[in-house]
């Protein structure tokens, strides 16, 4: 029986990369241990910076860290392949380009956005959960300004320049902060009045930033209000459509952008 053991890690997110680094540190001098990291992309994405991509503060390349650089001179083999199936009985990972047997398997495949059962979220909403989604959000926001600059209908223009952020956790508040800054530049670029831009943060709970203490959360809320951001708490969203969202209390907010 061979003493050789192969450890396969699926996913080059924070968990997968961290696991690979720890395993390298532990087994770098053990020739019987093989460490393989599989991901469909050749880079790790800095998810905590994606709101800055969506807000055009930084370029997409700024959040890509290529795996060959991360694991240069390390006991980690990086394989670029998209996993389609795992055969747990045969201890095999099946990808589009190959099949890989393992002795130990670590799953670090990340998560998917949740719509909380709200109709229309995936169809009409935007996210900053992936690099592709952040770029799509960024392009949509600028398109709204471009269209608003030539729109003569006041109602249509108002919808285009109303931006709603759903959720007042760290990501939501950071995204609202990016919008506060970027929309000023977009108004200058497209010759629009910044007073026509409306930014809203809508939260189902009774406070923003629920992971912070009340003093800090209130301070953040006051800062947002001072900057012209409208914050609604105790306001669950129950429906999302192409041109509006509906709150649980029946209020309808007309917008073409829900993030």
Question: For every one of its 259 residues, what pLDDT tens digit does the chain have, with 9 covering 90 and above?
Answer: 578 999 999 999 999 999 999 999 999 999 999 999 999 999 999 999 999 999 999 999 999 999 999 999 999 999 999 999 999 999 999 999 999 999 999 999 988 888 889 999 999 999 999 999 999 999 999 999 999 999 999 999 999 999 999 999 999 999 999 999 999 999 999 999 999 999 999 999 999 999 999 999 999 999 999 999 999 999 999 999 999 999 999 999 999 999 9
Residues assigned a catalytic role: 174
pTM of the full structure: 0.90
41 and 101 in a single domain? The answer is yes
| Domain co-membership, 253 together with 204 | yes
Same domain, 91 and 198: no
Here the CATH number for the domain that contains residue 186 is 3.50.50.60
Domain count of the chain?
2
Residues 131 and 194 in one domain: yes
Domain that holds residue 243: 121-258
Helix intervals (H) in the chain: 14-27, 50-54, 67-70, 121-124, 131-148, 154-160, 170-190, 214-226
Assess whether 183 and 254 both reside in one domain.
yes
Does any domain span residue 79?
yes
Alpha helices (runs of H) in 82-169, residue ranges in sequence order: 121-124, 131-148, 154-160
Q: Which two tokens stand for residue 136?
A: 């799509």
Residue 113 domain-assigned? no
- CA 7 from chain centre, in angstroms, equals 29
Q: How far apart are CA 118 and CA 238, in angstroms?
A: 6
């Amino acid at each position: 029986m061979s003493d050789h053991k192969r450890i396969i890690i699926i996913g080059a997110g924070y968990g997968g990369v961290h696991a690979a680094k720890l395993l390298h540190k532990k087994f770098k001098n053990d020739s019987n241990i093989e460490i393989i990291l599989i991901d469909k992309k050749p880079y790790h994405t800095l998810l905590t910076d994606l709101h800055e991509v969506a807000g055009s503060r930084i370029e997409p390349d700024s959040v890509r860290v290529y795996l060959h650089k991360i694991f240069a001179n390390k006991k980690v083999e990086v394989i670029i392949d998209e996993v389609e199936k795992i055969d747990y009985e045969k201890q095999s990972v099946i990808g589009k380009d190959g099949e890989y047997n393992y002795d130990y398997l670590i799953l670090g495949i990340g998560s998917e956005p949740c719509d909380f059962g709200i109709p229309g979220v995936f169809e009409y909403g935007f996210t900053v959960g992936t690099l592709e989604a952040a770029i799509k959000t960024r392009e949509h926001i600028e398109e709204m300004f471009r269209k608003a600059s030539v729109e003569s209908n006041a109602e249509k223009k108002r919808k285009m320049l109303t931006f709603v952020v759903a959720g007042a956790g760290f990501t939501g508040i950071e995204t609202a902060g990016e919008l506060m800054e970027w929309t000023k530049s977009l108004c200058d670029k497209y010759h629009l009045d910044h007073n026509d831009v409306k930014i809203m943060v809508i939260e189902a709970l009774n406070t923003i930033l629920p992971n912070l203490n009340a003093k800090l959360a209130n301070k953040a809320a006051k800062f947002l209000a001072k900057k012209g951001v409208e914050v609604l708490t105790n306001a669950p969203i129950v429906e999302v459509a192409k041109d509006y969202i509906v709150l649980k209390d029946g209020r309808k907010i007309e917008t073409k952008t829900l993030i």
